[in-house]
Amino acid sequence: MRKKQITMDDVARLANVSKPTVSRALSGNPNVTEQTREKVLAVAREHGYAVNRNARKLREKHTNTVAVVLDFSSHRRDRISDPFIYELLAGVSEALSVRNQDLLLSPPTLTNVDSYRDLVMSRVVDGFIMLGQGANDALFSELHELNVPLVVWGGKTDDTEYCTVGSDNFLGGYLAGERFVTNKCKDVLYVGNSEHLELRLRRDGLRKALNTAHYDIKFRELEIEDFSFSSHFESMARLLKKSSAPDAIFTYSDTAGMAVINALNEHGLEPIKDYFLIGYNDIAQASHFSPRLTTIRQDTFLAGSLLVEKFMSVLNKNNPTSSTIPTELIVRGT
List the interface residues with DNA, window 86-105 (CB under 7 A).
none
DSSP-assigned letter for residue 290: S
Distances from the Cα of 251 to the Cα of 135, 161, 166, 192, angstroms: 18, 28, 18, 6
Shortest approach of DNA to residue 132 CB, angstroms?
32
Q: How far is CA 332 from the centre of its chain?
A: 25
> Which does residue 19 touch among its own copies, DNA, none (CB within 5 to 8 A, set by kind)?
DNA
Q: Which is nearer to its own copies, 59 or 214 (CB)?
A: 59
| Maximum Cα–Cα distance across the chain | 86
Shortest approach of its own copies to residue 226 CB, angstroms?
14
Q: Point out which span in 18-26, 86-94, 156-164, 270-278 binds its own copies (CB under 8 A).
A: 86-94
Residue 164 touching DNA (CB under 7 A): no
Q: Which is nearer to its own copies, 45 or 242 (CB)?
A: 45
Distances from the Cα of 43 to the Cα of 3, 14, 30, 40, 54, angstroms: 16, 7, 19, 5, 22
The binder of its own copies chosen from 63, 235, 294, 334 (CB under 8 A): 63
Q: Which is nearer to its own copies, 97 or 244 (CB)?
A: 97
Applying CB under 8 A, the site for its own copies has a residue count of 62
- Please give the full DSSP string across 303-314, using - where no structure is assigned: HHHHHHHHHHHH
Applying CB under 7 A, the site for DNA has a residue count of 27
Residue 146 touching its own copies (CB under 8 A): yes
Radius of gyration of the chain from Cα atoms? 25
DSSP SS3 for 144: helix
Residue 236 touching its own copies (CB under 8 A): no
Q: Point out which span in 31-39, 80-88, 171-179, 274-282 binds DNA (CB under 7 A).
A: 31-39
List the one residue out of 176, 257, 163 whose CA is nearest residue 217: 176
The binder of its own copies chosen from 31, 35, 122, 319 (CB under 8 A): 122
Percentages (nearest 5) of helix, strand, coil residues in the chain = 45, 15, 40
Note if the bond before 291 is cis, omega within 30 degrees: yes
- Whether 87 contacts 286, CB under 8 Å: no
List the interface residues with DNA, window 1-20 (CB under 7 A).
5, 7-9, 16-20
- Whether 276 contacts 179, CB under 8 Å: yes
Residue 171 is which amino acid? L
Q: Point out which span in 32-40, 69-77, 98-106, 190-198 binds DNA (CB under 7 A).
A: 32-40
The count of residues in the chain is: 334
List the interface residues with its own copies, window 23-52 (CB under 8 A).
48-52
> Which does residue 83 touch among DNA, its own copies, none (CB within 5 to 8 A, set by kind)?
its own copies
Element containing residue 183 per DSSP (H, E): none
List the one residue out of 45, 23, 82, 15 whose CA is nearest residue 280: 82
Q: Which is nearer to DNA, 121 or 272 (CB)?
A: 121
In angstroms, the CA 109 to CA 246 distance is 41
Where along the sequence are the contacts to its own copies (CB under 8 A)? 1-2, 5, 48-55, 57-58, 63, 68, 72, 75-80, 83, 86-87, 89-90, 93-94, 96-97, 102-105, 107-109, 117-118, 120-124, 146-149, 229, 233, 255, 258-259, 262, 265, 284-285, 287-290
Interacting residues toward DNA by CB under 7 A: 5, 7-9, 16-21, 23-24, 26-27, 30-33, 35-36, 51-52, 55-56, 58-60
